[in-house]
Structure 1
Amino acid sequence: MNLLEIIILGIVEGLTEYLPVSSTGHLLLTESLLNMSQSKEALDALAVCIQGGAILAVLSLYYPRVKTMVEGVRGTNPAGFKLLVNLILAFLPAAVVGLCCASLIKVPVQHVRWHARGSSAAAHSGLLRLARQAGKSKKAAKSS
């Protein structure tokens, strides 16, 4: 594995993380297209590092929302608690379908776990973005 391959994988992750597609799947496809012959463990470790960076980027981008939800859990911000409850309620249908259909998926369990984590992070970032836009729309409607 050389530096160029690592940079390409990082770019693929960066481009696909905020899209409604599987960034993990795209990393696996890119590894295959680049004919990367390293051990599975080495490629998995690299994918974890790359996706860890993407998760940190999402958390830093949405830090104010995350902080609001933490304050809601502490009982100091009712709006933050409501946001967290709504986020959990929005995530539950996907979790139920995923759990019910897990036996139908014909890939190694380890890939399913990482794909689920990546999909969960992407879903959460999408829901936070929608909540943010809804809040802006609501403020605009009130000021009219």
Structure 2
Amino acid sequence: MTVLGYFLMFLAASCAAAATGMVFKPGDWYAALRKPAFTPPGWVFPVVWSYLYVSVAYAAARVAGVEGSQFALVIFALQIALNTLWTPVFFGARRMGFGMAVIVLLWWAVAAMGVAFLRHDLVAGLLVAPYLIWLSLAAALNWRIWRDNRAL
């Protein structure tokens, strides 16, 4: 398979994860929550996530054709599964604590994916860094929202 073929496959998996955001929208419940001052404006989230999904799909495509990359791709599958889970847990079920557990596992999976990708392809590994940075912000937001709204 070509890099383009792999890219389209990984992008499809990423689009499935992104689709949960269309099904489980933040809505009035989220708007009413107390949020920290470092919460980005709402328009930032789809822009950043679109970039991250495309760049990480490309990173995975670069690694997919490399001999011995199976473990790195298993970690990609794990992180995209956890990524897909977070939105319905946090916004759908409104389980902020469980969402925190999911995002911590996701952060570790993405960190491991970055290391695994780096072992096979420098560019692919570096493309994971913005994802990890964004997840760090997302985890901080999840934690503060959970902490500041426990009575709800």
Task: Give me the TM-score of the superposition, normalised by structure 2.
Answer: 0.31
Whichever of the two has the greater Rg, that structure is: 1
The structure with higher relative contact order (CA 8 Å, sep 6+) is 2
